[in-house]
Chains A and B, each alone.
Chain A
Amino acid sequence: MAEGIITLTSANFDETVKSSTTPILVDFWAEWCGPCKTIAPVLTEIAKEQAGKVTIAKLNVDEHGDIAQRFNVMSIPTLMVFHNGEMKKRMIGAKGKTQLLAELAEFIPTKS
């Protein structure tokens, strides 16, 4: 797993999402999904550039299907933003960096 990206599992999902001090973007992915591979480097870059402002996490739907099922994931990649333990946004399909940062803007505090 790339540096700065948290790996979520059935065991740590709830606790991690609830206790995160920053908004957390969860990437529901699997090994056999081509578009999931194309967004992986984008997520790595965002994790690095937005460190401390937004947390990037990944959940493998093949290994932790119960979590995917709980959120009715029927297509991957699906990206969800959680804040204060609640799901705030759901995006279906792979996106480019510019698009993704625009979607995340509302969750990223700007410098004052």
Chain B
Amino acid sequence: MKGSLMSNTANSPHNVIIIGSGPAGLTAAIYAARANLAPLVFEGEPSSSSDQPGGQLMLTTDVENYPGFPEGVMGPDLMMKFREQAARFNTTFITEKVTKVDFSKRPFTVWVRDTQYSAQTIIVSTGAQSIMLGLESETRLIGHGLSTCATCDGFFFRGQEIVVVGGGDSALEEATFLTKFASKVTLVHRRDSLRASKIMQDRARSNPKIEFKWNSKVTELLGTDKLNGVGIVDTVTGERSQLNVTGLFIAIGHRPNTDLFKGVLEMEDTGYLKTRPGSSYTNVPGVFACGDVQDHTYRQAITAAGSGCIAAIDCERWLESQH
């Protein structure tokens, strides 16, 4: 491996292991690879939630705000390009989820079940995943009317009435997208105003197929082997009602994927990793964090990518400082 700081042989630790492969992890990989660090990326395991290789963008359609794509770009296509670019510069990918970490001594160790890998540095970019309602019936009805992926499943609700829960950008984007198929989309939101961006709000409000149900919460899913309605309670009056819909899509927010790092890395009460302001440093020297796993404020593909670049540069300089 010509020119690399340290070579990655079977016995010697890797320079850097990157955990997670959304915009943050893959940008970190591109920068680390171009710095001849031959990064090893654990890109995660395929799933139908946003916790999968490529991250949250794998469940989106048109990304209209990523610079460089004036016509927009499909989320999955964008992530494939990120990945190809990282691969071009000597990045190794393992399509597995890390199951355990030990950051208490260097080199650091990560495990995929029984297989162990070690590295001088770690970049954590495990992202965030969407929150479900927490109702018992959810597990039973996933894939039978309840969907975790509007872009995957919208197609199956042609001419049907559906509900989208949430009031942020993701909820409005899903609701607007789903009107391509559904005859009517009811947006159920627990408040009386939206926190979504102006452009998404305008788009949704002017869409004749979208109706808003304010101050409302979905409390019950109806149907045994197939969804046929949802029970709703008014958060102000307490009044209960029912909507006879065959589809339900949930976009009520995200939680960071940090279960792996509990007791290992410092985090906020909400589970987001703490980084030193203006950097990607965690409380453990040599462990860096970037992307949504440490950002509950901006949460954009471009900010995640930018923070991935910061992490790779922090990591490279830290490695140099150890010599």
Contact = CB atoms under 8 A, between A and B. Distances in A.
Interface of A: 30, 32-39, 41-42, 61-62, 68, 72-78, 92-99
A72 B142 CA distance: 13
Contact of A78 (B59, B76, B143): B143
Contacts of B57: 34
A76 B151 contact: no
B191 interface: no
Given A32-B61, A32-B151, A38-B54, A75 B47 contact: no
B155 interface: yes
B207 interface: no
A96 B45 contact: yes
Contact of B156 (A32, A35, A42, A75): A75
B135 interface: no
Contact of A94 (B52, B60, B75, B155): B52
A74 B45 contact: no
Of B46, B53, B75, B95, the most chain A CB neighbours within 10 A belong to: B46
B190 interface: no
**Interchain residue pairs A-B with the least CB separation, the first 10:** A92-B143, A96-B45, A93-B48, A34-B58, A75-B143, A94-B46, A34-B76, A38-B46, A33-B152, A74-B156
Contacts of B153: 74-76
B147 interface: yes
B196 to A, nearest CB: 22
A109 to B, nearest CB: 25
What is the predominant secondary structure among interface residues of chain B facing chain A?
Answer: loop
Interface string B83-126: 00000000000011100000000000000010000000000000
Interface of B: 45-49, 52-54, 57-61, 74-76, 80, 95-97, 113, 142-145, 147-149, 151-153, 155-156, 226
Given A37-B80, A92-B142, A30 B155 contact: yes
Contacts of B142: 75, 92-93
A94 B74 CA distance: 19
* Max chain A C-beta neighbours (<10 A), residue from B57, B148, B153: B153
Contacts of A92: 48, 142-143
A73 B226 CA distance: 11
B59 A35 contact: yes
B309 to A, nearest CB: 24
Contacts of A96: 45-47, 95-97
**A37, A74, A99 — which one has the most chain B CB atoms within 10 A of its CB?**
A74
A74 B52 CA distance: 21
Given A62-B155, A76-B153, A93-B47, 6 more contacts: A32-B152, A37-B80, A38-B53, A92-B48, A95-B46, A96-B45
